[in-house]
Amino acid sequence: MFHRSHLSVLGQRVAGHLVEVDGYWRMDETYIKVRGHWVYLYRAVDKAGQTVDFFLSRNRDVNAAKSFLRSAMKNTRVPTKITLDAYAASHRAVRELQEDGERPRRVKVRSSQYLNNLVEQDHRRVKQRIRPMLGFKRFDSAAITICGIELAEKIKCGSGPQTPVPQLDSALAQVRTWSGPVAA
């Protein structure tokens, strides 16, 4: 079984071999518990339901939304459309990124409660893995564990490595057989 510190290394090694995400993003935030306090998990998925990126923040505000969008656009291709829910801070963050020139003008932003059902359903998958753990004791442990959950799901659903990664063949075979919650 993997130790938590191995998940970030595994994620970095596999990252170059993953299928690229679509340009249509759905972005939303949800809550998880860390040391008895709620923290905010910003997530974006593409039109096909593949995770674009995630960001764990202690605050739910414009700065957290901007940090998430910067991180997501840096790590993947720039989206064509971003669908947001009605949360005003996310809309303001996108608008400020465009005013600062960090978001290309060709990126369309729309608000739709129903199109975001895909990301809402995807939150359920992450929370089902986290629920048996009864929350986390440390913020960084939560981030690493969520990274492992996302990576395991990408590999399990077939959006994982499309080109062989020789050092990881046995590790990936083990990840594909995971059916229970990832240990924290």
Specify the CATH number for the domain of residue 137.
3.30.420.10
Residue 82 resides in a domain = yes
pLDDT of residue 3: 46
* Distances 116 to 100, 103, 111 between C-alpha atoms, Å: 26, 21, 9
Residue 151 resides in a domain = yes
Residue range 14-36: mean pLDDT, rounded: 76
How far apart (Å, rounded) are the C-alpha atoms in residues 71 and 157? 24
Residue 165 resides in a domain = no
Domain extent for 139 = 19-159
Residue 5 resides in a domain = no
Which tokens in the block code for residue 42? 């910003």
* pLDDT tens digit sequence for 107-160: 888 887 777 777 777 777 788 888 877 778 888 888 888 888 887 777 776 554
Q: Distance between alpha carbon 4 and the CA centroid of its chain, in Å?
A: 17
Structural domains in the chain (count): 1
Residue 168 resides in a domain = no
Residue 109 resides in a domain = yes
The structure's pTM equals: 0.72
